[in-house]
Homo-oligomer: A and B are copies of this chain.
């Protein structure tokens, strides 16, 4: 895979350098740790902090979610690798306004360990209250009986959006964490992988599929999915992804959802809108109302080919949080 990079060991730091230089009014890097990025402008007095983070390679996640009404800070790991506790703790100190910080991250062993350690350090050494919220929206990664084993993928966007809006509205630490957890509970994602991504340092494919083969439920880092098979048409793929979600999270006529059709990297917006078209048809047939739609690259796996569908079953409070204004460097660039 041809890549526009310099030394493969420098991709994350050079990306961050470019990011900070591109959006100096919106984000800044901490002097204390070059992998800690926080919102550049002053946030509201007494606001609860929202901190996210994870491995790189999922851009715009997670770095791109930092902004007013979204996350206040992010700890940036190496590609597909959790950030260590240090950048998490430094970002925590920078964004805490005295009312504590909510950590939101995906359900991966490294993130669980590092965000957990960082929370202990922040509480013991800095006297900052921390709430941990683990996202596990990926239906394919474990059965509903073992939901606690499921990985976090694109649904983290909605969890961050709801928590960020709640914090901006002045919710307490516990309330922001509760909103984030409830959003996670009401969110499901199913994806399909078509073509692999290539880690810059090895330039090896993250998995292999035959020509004209797809894998349902393939993980964000190339983890095995639930089923390999011949590549189907977009409508059939969308049918399968939505059906798996609805089988896992019962919804009723009249429910309102937020929908995210997310590209994994190299899949075109044309294809994503074709998939969305079918998702809308299926939901309309079941009387489920799409309250808001998101179509594009929100959480990628480098240049992986494929997409995921995320549904969040909204309640009245989540609707008001989804509606709230937000501003992030990787969006709203007009």
Contact = CB atoms under 8 A, between A and B. Distances in A.
Contacts of A101: none
Contact of A4 (B15, B60, B275): B275
Contacts of A237: 4
Contacts of A277: 14-15, 17-18, 21
Contact of A270 (B56, B195, B328): B56
Nearest to A6: B233
Nearest to A325: B334
| Identical copies in the complex | 2
A81 B155 CA distance: 36
A302 interface: yes
A308 to B, nearest CB: 11
Contacts of A270: 5, 11-12, 15, 56-57, 59, 302
Contacts of A325: 334
Contacts of A319: none
Interface string A63-95: 010000110000000000000000000000000
Contact of A307 (B4, B17, B269, B294): B4
A247 interface: no
A326 B331 contact: no
B234 A5 contact: yes
A304 to B, nearest CB: 10
B2 A333 contact: no
Interface string A265-278: 11111111111111
A23 to B, nearest CB: 7
B273 A22 contact: yes
Contact of A331 (B64, B212, B334): B334
6 contacts: A2-B305, A3-B268, A6-B274, A59-B269, A268-B300, A332-B334
